[in-house]
Structure 1
Amino acid sequence: MRWQVVGLTLFLLLVLGAAKSRHGSRRGHRTYRRYTPDWTSLDARPLPAWYDEAKFGVFVHWGVYSVPAWGSEWFWWHWKGEHQVLYELFMRNNYPPGFSYADFGPQFTATFFDPEHWADLFRAAGARYVVLTTKHHEGFTNWPSPVSWNWNSQDVGPHRDLVGELGTALRKRNMSYGLYHSLLEWFHPLYLLDKKNGFKTQYFVSSKTMPELYDLVNRYKPDLIWSDGEWECPDTYWNSTNFLAWLYNDSPVKDRVVVNDRWGQNCSCHHGGFYNCQDKYMPGSLPNHKWEMCTSIDKSSWGYRRNMVMASIASEEEIISELVQAVSLGGNYLLNIGPTKDGVIVPIFQERLLAVGNWLSINGEAIYASKPWRVQADKNSTSVWYTSKGPDVYAILLQWPENGVLSLASPTTTSTTEVKMLGLKGNLKWSKDPVQGLLISLPLLAPSDFPVKYAWTLKLTGVE
């Protein structure tokens, strides 16, 4: 009888243990579930925490369009799709008759591409993740895609696996790696055939788009997939929900991977892990879903342009102001640069990235892993944006008050309230005014003695 009781006890323990391993314990273990290929199920997946905590990333647009390096990364479409006169004149004046877009391929050399240098620069910029274009709408792949014969970086031009090399360098530095991938290709014969058939056929999807996405995930195990090129077709044409169900259920990155919202017509700002909504999107108020602002240092292009001028380059102040506003509104900020065909990140782009890194080295406490506060912009002035972390509140000041006294209407002070400026020692003096709210006496210092030139962060403790 005693052995029967022991046996029954062991049996029950094994059953309970198996159930716990399948369903997770109540003490924080992951509860596993299967996602079905529909948006109701897929949109219910929790966003992996690393992405929201990262806040700042670098976007890299690099491809064959970096060879003509004129106009924009849409060069081929403007030239041969729309037959824009300026592009046709550019080709006529600079290249011999009969020169095709494919002839640019061998000139995409990546001669000076040093992934270690790139990764060091991106880390010095304070970026926690990097998103590289694996394939833009031109169809050229920056890795040896098995379904892009003679139109990839291994067969043509660099004769290197650009996606793999950068990923290796980033992961040495514990940075997350995202892969941009265009679903469509402007001039691929099978895509044009599907378009002619009213997208009732899926020759292009089954032989090109999906094989590439599965290959990218299995080969490089990305932390993020930044999808694009979705706008001409519904998600049912792209088989997006089937791919995402596999990605979330069975892929090698199922627990960590994050995706955006560009998976078919009408998906943007409605379906996906985080929302881009549109290029350079900045909401007017706090959204109820995680989002990302993607923008470019060169305001007129995502890819490198030889005819770039300073008037089109975002200033350090503009970039940092956008970063602050995006994070205050619960978003991430993805800042783009376009390397040259040789793999050089030109000095003006390096300077802007390093300026962000210098600012974050002082003020990162208010950015990384922060959360939106109950108020995002102060009622007294829209030049003050708030973030929070635990009980601490951060007020980031984009404009310096003329009298040196900052008025904040939103924080409620307590007997334990203290105010500090990140990068300086000691507390700042403050007082409470029944009309103007919290009045903070800002430091009287020479400009060179301040930790940063603009976007100064005040850390408020003991406020409500």
Structure 2
Amino acid sequence: MNRRQLIQSLAIGIPGVLLSNKLSAFQSNDDGAKEFVEKILAGPFSPTWESLANYKTPEWFRDAKFGMWAHWGPQCQPEAGDWYAREMYMEGSWKYKYHVEKYGHPSKFGFKDVINVWKAENWDPESLVSLYKSAGAKYFMAMANHHDNLDLYKSKYQKNWNSTKVGPKKDIIGGWAAAAKKHGLPFGVSVHAAHAWSWFETSQRADKNGPMAGIPYDGKLTKADGKGKWWEGLDPQELYAQNHELSQNSQNNGTIHRQWDWGNGVTPPTSAYINKFYNRTIDLINKYNPDMVYFDDSQLPMWPISDVGLKIAAHLYNKSIKDKGRLTSVVTGKILNETQRKAMVWDIERGQSNNIEPLPWQTDTCIGGWHYERGIYNRNGYKTAKTVIHTLIDVVSKNGNLMLNIPVRGDGTIDELERKIVEDIGLWMKANGESIYGTRPWKVFGEGPAQEKSPALNAQGFNEGKGKPFTDKDIRFAAKEKELFATVMAWPAEGSVLISCLAEGSSNYPGKINNVELLATKEKLRFERNSQGLKVYFPANQPQASYANALKIT
């Protein structure tokens, strides 16, 4: 059976299909976990792409437009940025050097030990969720685990390496979920742990140079090695999952990206590893009842070597129908084909579509790094509120939502620069939110010079910030019932703007325009309409947070 046949067989739900050794076969199961423990709920959805393609995005998600995310876990403790738990084992990298200086050599102080010093001592989830709601967020998401494989909740299947047993000894997801519920926000969880298998392979390495050359890092330690240590009785392999051969070209640090879809020479994960991931995720869903599950995966977790991701999605959809009488859940995934976009919400990482998408989608991005980085704070390198708002407006015009991460420090707080950005976003949203919430795409998403050089998506996204900056010549549109919102992406230097799409006689807007209002102040504006466009005259005084200016046209 070739790879194409395998994918097709999994897609139509043929059970028990495994890959050959040549095509990333499952390794033999050596720990006895041969059967799924958690069962998927029966219902209208089955674990096939064809069945899941009957999904319809719930209206709450389409109306919400703007969510905030706490991409927070033990990798925030060193304050050295994203992928710390992988790159601290990469000899010569800045994170390796930082780790050696701050904590010691990774043969003696590995990532398991970073987890031990993470205490989240100042974490106040209610306060942060309250801040995000005041800034205009209509849903909230928290990270349930990252590629570092620590579950941030009371996990039945990662029973020793979870945040209630080590590190802060707190139910992080439980705390976030309660705060979201108190503030009436739909609650999402992000799940990244499927890739710990290959992502953590750097922990199997050893220095090639210097006085510690040849001494293995701690990635292959076992329970027997813990005698007399703080982790005595714990098995590091339950965290690192490195009791396997290195993937092909594992010493090449860029290989991990090419193996994200479980091809290109990755050492195939055992069925026990896959089943454990499945059980952990079903347990998470059953315990905390999230409205949304974000997967940091190409398509769904473990696809195409396993259909467990399809099982998880079907379970979530069926559970939503069983619990609420209708489908209200959202699942997101990356790099989706046309069929897969019908089965779930397409997520674009740090990027935007260049067109109005026929189905709702989401961009996820961050004002800094995904995990907290002190260097970004020190150089004041965060995205501005203006940049965030411009991204939101552009995404909404194309039928999308924006999920924004505000990096959280290891102690559970955000810094004062981040707080100011969140507050500034809130100022704009309070004045202009009507042009965002509950809207739908118009006939065209916009006009102006910025769209003329829109950069193409790269892999799962990564085209943000590569286009031309927005100016007062750039307009973005959104519609709500009989109202049209045209947002001018800067305060016009000449005191007026010309909107070509609204020219007299245009098929885009054949009806009469009776009123143009500056939404932020409710002020009616003078306008002229002719064959060149709709010319709108702005007032002399700029309102607060005027880096984007929504016009309400009726």
Name which of structure 1's ranges 376-385 and 61-70 shifts more when overlaid on structure 2.
376-385
1:456 aligns with 2:549: yes
Query: Contact 2:54/2:342 (CA < 8 Å) preserved in 1?
Result: no
Give the whole-Å Cα distance in 2 for the aligned partners of 1:284 and 1:268.
20
Shift of 1:42: 0.3
Give the whole-Å Cα distance in 2 for the aligned partners of 1:341 and 1:424.
40
Give the whole-Å Cα distance in 2 for the aligned partners of 1:192 and 1:417.
70
1:61-117 CA-to-partner distances (Å, cap 9, x unmatched) read 1111111111x220111122x434322222222223411211111221111111211
Aligned to 1:99: 109
1:116 aligns with 2:126: yes
Query: Contact 1:38/1:241 (CA < 8 Å) preserved in 2?
Result: yes
Structure-2 change in CA distance of 1:56 and 1:268 (3 Å): farther
Shift of 1:460: 0.3
Aligned to 2:327: 255
Name which of structure 1's ranges 397-406 and 170-179 shifts more when overlaid on structure 2.
397-406
Which of 272, 285, 305 lines up with 1:217 in the alignment? 285
Query: Contact 1:177/1:222 (CA < 8 Å) preserved in 2?
Result: yes
1:73 aligns with 2:82: yes
Give the whole-Å Cα distance in 1 for the aligned partners of 2:340 and 2:353.
11
| Secondary structure of residue in 2 paired with 1:109 | coil
Shift of 1:33: 6.8
| Secondary structure of residue in 1 paired with 2:154 | coil
Aligned to 2:505: none
Alignment of 1:58-457 (within 5 A): 58-70=68-80, 72-80=81-89, 82-97=90-105, 98-182=108-192, 183-185=194-196, 186-187=199-200, 188=239, 190=241, 193=244, 198-199=267-268, 201-207=270-276, 209-230=277-298, 233-237=302-306, 239-250=308-319, 252=323, 255-262=327-334, 270=341, 272-277=343-348, 279-298=349-368, 301-308=369-376, 309-378=378-447, 383-411=474-502, 412=509, 414-415=511-512, 417-434=514-531, 436-445=532-541, 447=542, 450-457=543-550
| Secondary structure of residue in 1 paired with 2:286 | helix
1:408-450 CA-to-partner distances (Å, cap 9, x unmatched) read 111246445211111324421111222x2111111122x4xx2
| Secondary structure of residue in 1 paired with 2:517 | strand
Query: Contact 1:225/1:260 (CA < 8 Å) preserved in 2?
Result: yes
| Runs of 5+ consecutive residues of structure 1 not aligned to the other structure | 1-31
Give the whole-Å Cα distance in 1 for the aligned partners of 2:539 and 2:370.
40
Structure-2 change in CA distance of 1:64 and 1:271 (3 Å): farther
| Secondary structure of residue in 2 paired with 1:293 | strand
Give the whole-Å Cα distance in 2 for the aligned partners of 1:137 and 1:304.
16
Shift of 1:236: 4.0
Query: Contact 1:261/1:268 (CA < 8 Å) preserved in 2?
Result: no
Shift of 1:47: 0.9
Name which of structure 1's ranges 148-157 and 50-59 shifts more when overlaid on structure 2.
148-157
Structure-2 change in CA distance of 1:174 and 1:198 (3 Å): same
Structure-2 change in CA distance of 1:288 and 1:267 (3 Å): closer
Name which of structure 1's ranges 123-132 and 377-386 shifts more when overlaid on structure 2.
377-386
Name which of structure 1's ranges 362-371 and 312-321 shifts more when overlaid on structure 2.
312-321
Query: Contact 2:65/2:401 (CA < 8 Å) preserved in 1?
Result: yes
Query: Contact 1:268/1:276 (CA < 8 Å) preserved in 2?
Result: no
Query: Contact 2:54/2:343 (CA < 8 Å) preserved in 1?
Result: no
Give the whole-Å Cα distance in 1 for the aligned partners of 2:272 and 2:96.
31
Shift of 1:176: 0.8
| Secondary structure of residue in 1 paired with 2:433 | helix
1:196-253 CA-to-partner distances (Å, cap 9, x unmatched) read 795374211112x111111111111001001114589534425111222222224647
Shift of 1:400: 2.7
Query: Contact 1:274/1:291 (CA < 8 Å) preserved in 2?
Result: yes
Query: Contact 2:82/2:371 (CA < 8 Å) preserved in 1?
Result: yes
Give the whole-Å Cα distance in 1 for the aligned partners of 2:245 and 2:91.
22
Letter in 2 for 1:441: Y
What TM-score, normalized to structure 2?
0.71
Give the whole-Å Cα distance in 1 for the aligned partners of 2:482 and 2:315.
39
Query: Contact 2:55/2:343 (CA < 8 Å) preserved in 1?
Result: no
Query: Contact 2:68/2:406 (CA < 8 Å) preserved in 1?
Result: yes
Query: Contact 2:49/2:339 (CA < 8 Å) preserved in 1?
Result: no
1:379-399 CA-to-partner distances (Å, cap 9, x unmatched) read 687511011100100010112
1:158-199 CA-to-partner distances (Å, cap 9, x unmatched) read 211111111111111110110001122234565764987953
Structure-2 change in CA distance of 1:130 and 1:200 (3 Å): closer
Structure-2 change in CA distance of 1:36 and 1:150 (3 Å): closer
Letter in 2 for 1:172: K
Give the whole-Å Cα distance in 2 for the aligned partners of 1:393 and 1:33.
40
1:242-268 CA-to-partner distances (Å, cap 9, x unmatched) read 222222224647721100024x99799
Name which of structure 1's ranges 421-430 and 387-396 shifts more when overlaid on structure 2.
421-430
Letter in 1 for 2:121: T
Structure-2 change in CA distance of 1:243 and 1:96 (3 Å): closer
Aligned residues: 419
